[in-house]
Structure 1
């Protein structure tokens, strides 16, 4: 075999012929690495964009649900109004229409919806909150509306529709009105959607909401409204026309095709110019990514359009950076190869070798200085980030400590208020025990001491929550005779009521109503309510306290009625630290704590003013479960 000639002896023409191939190969490598950097950056950008889109969908979806569902429970409560029931009964009492209109007007003024109205079995609006307005719903025939038909069938209806009087879109929620077992009418509320239109700017990207038919009903781009994401079926067109869902508006096609089954990856679509997005507002270019989310409570579909142009511009920059870095590395390799070649040709060009070495050392020195400066900057950035992380951790610790102190303060206030009643009772019972002991009535003394012992145990159970810092100890529910709890509370307050000249009428009989709750906690609530009733009747000419208990279909109803000054105006009665007593005589925590205790049982506490004067507090308690045979 012939020996390979040394490189120094290769003919110049042959060396020159190989150089274009090497340059092409290097350019190909640089191009491939730059393209790979672009693809990797694009993939990472797409993942970040999808994650951000998911967060936007979650937040905006929650906001939409809050807007359309905050008053969805109102129609269910309308059937509790006697004015509405009288309106739907036959024969209709005189003045029932005016009474129902005023009731709906007051209710709508309190909650702030667009309108609340009541329809009879034929779909005619008998009463409405906007009865005074020229475009009132009163007298309108809405039997063609889907929400009316759903409510008449005994179910809750939820539909989007455009109003036939004002042409204003809204979200309608309907509920059947029953008189006994029969559906006699339908109550409906129209919830405005202006809040959603005002929230588009907060979303930051173009978006739309489509109903269950795939028709765009709300959008940040006005031209998109009342277009169909996909062609409507014949049944959908007929149903929309019959129910006048879109008030006979023509439904066009959406500018671009949207896949009906958008996955987590989203859909990349082209043709930004056809979407009609106004310049200056989230201009998309020619390509963007569509993500969707189904709003379960309404059946609507939320779509957002994320711009891909900034992400791809960033990916191009990363790809160019990768190509430049690769070129630098290859250039360094070429320099090393050139140095080796110079070393091998040292005999032929020693002067050239020395010159090349000097140039190389100069380049290395410059690069070393650049790397040193870069390393110093990196160390400074690392130190700054570490300092920022330490500051953030300190701030988080302070927030946690502040939250603990706030919860501890609330718990301490509740414990102080709850201990005041047992301590007062123990003081009264101990004084009575001394008096009865002087009289020689040891049986009564023993009874009082037993009650004091039980109150001491009760105080121990009240203090127990302090051991768990901010978590209340759960009450132990049991079958409790309401009459026994009422009797115990009246016994503890007997002297106070007698001294105040209050006549007590107790209709609670043993065995009449048995609730599922903790008797000690129930007595605490009763003592607080009875004491409040006594204070309210301090200046009343007639002082009568009436207690009654009854078993209802879903539990036990216990009422405490007085003839006092009544309830103050406003809805702050159960708010902590709200009190009508003079300064220094109350903290305003009694009713708030009492309602929390009743709700722990699974019940509720409400207050109403009596027409004849005074107030009535009603406790709704769950009934005790029936014993298995």
Structure 2
């Protein structure tokens, strides 16, 4: 039998399948070529569209200028007429007014404007070309609010679009001051019809609009756009429009899209719904449009034209498809040749590459495994050391707490001896008397003496029991603890010291009201330490008062505060640091507050300190509230 060949056999599927990366690269190239063709065609089409739009804007701007400015010089010549000057000097003369009216009527009939009229200094129309039309005559109208009147009265030429207040007919108003020497005695105004501009929209062959100096559309081939603001109007502009009634108190709507006022010669592309009346086809309803603008400087207007981009993009898509197909055909030929050569090279290099990859992988796995093993060993060692350090720290802390308890008991020994000496002496005397009365047979007196001895024994038990509980060394086990009982036990142990120091104690804790979740024995140790510190702080104070309060705090906690009238706290912020103390040398190690805060934090609470506004210090214990019992 012949040995099996060690050369790897290439699967048939791999021999027939092209490299996916090559295919992806070819597809990417085809896509880029197609995209480039699209962008190039679109750019060329946009340039052509911009050039065409510029020609159409120039043509329409010339038409607008010819329609509007043809009679703009008329108001300047009106002041040369004697009838007009007479009516300005004699406004109440019927003959002067009639002569001025007939002159303006003849002039208006000759040029074909909507109306020509003159206004006095108060803004009242004195004479008008439509004086003989009683329904819509301008005679007597107050136009003092109009912008063109204010410009003329100020000695300037006014040019404004406005809607008439009589017939609500839009028009272009041109005003000129009427002077008598250096003085302006009135204003001559001509209202030019803009109806011919509606017939000129066909010159553009695309949706278009004209906006005035406020950015409000005053003329448009799309009726829905009229009297809309291309951009949100400032408040002061809205106020001026309201006062001048340029648009006859009409509501100024919002343009369907935001138009950039500072657009350059490249224009602006917008996406919007354009409604044609009547609609020419279904494609006229929506699409993308290239907006070009041209300022009409003399009129203070701006002409905007919206060129449809759909033909440009359709042509660009066609060019992109053609470029992609041609590129794909060329790349497909190159792919076939390159794939054949690549398959041969891959068969020769496959084994070598595979062996190298396996060797590198095995080496890397070995290094990673060793590094991971070493890291795990170090972590286990560090965890063990930290657990031991934590246990040692807790044991040391417990020993410090117990030592502090015993130190307190030692300091309280004299007071406790005094408290126990009196009941013991009384018990000795009463027991001796009871023996004598028993010998005499006076049993009622003996019974009375024994009852007094029992009460004295109970009193001694009440003195000793808190000492036994306080001195007991036990682990901290949280449980419901009545703050009033803990405060009472601490005050009992320090009663002699507080009385000797002449300290007035105000305890506002009520039994059964504030129940905390902590170890009561440890809490009493903290309270004794804080009360002793407060007593030491009030040693040199003229007024010595200790105030203890408890109540609900933030986030459902219970706060217990111990306030004194001493000298207050230092401002260096080292109060809770170990071995920091404000007491004289030899009277403290500076560990009491640090240990107390650690004890409280074991309960899930905290200890903080602050100076009282009235003087002295306040220590606040934040303790978790005991969970409420389920009914």
Q: Greater Rg, structure 1 or structure 2?
A: 2
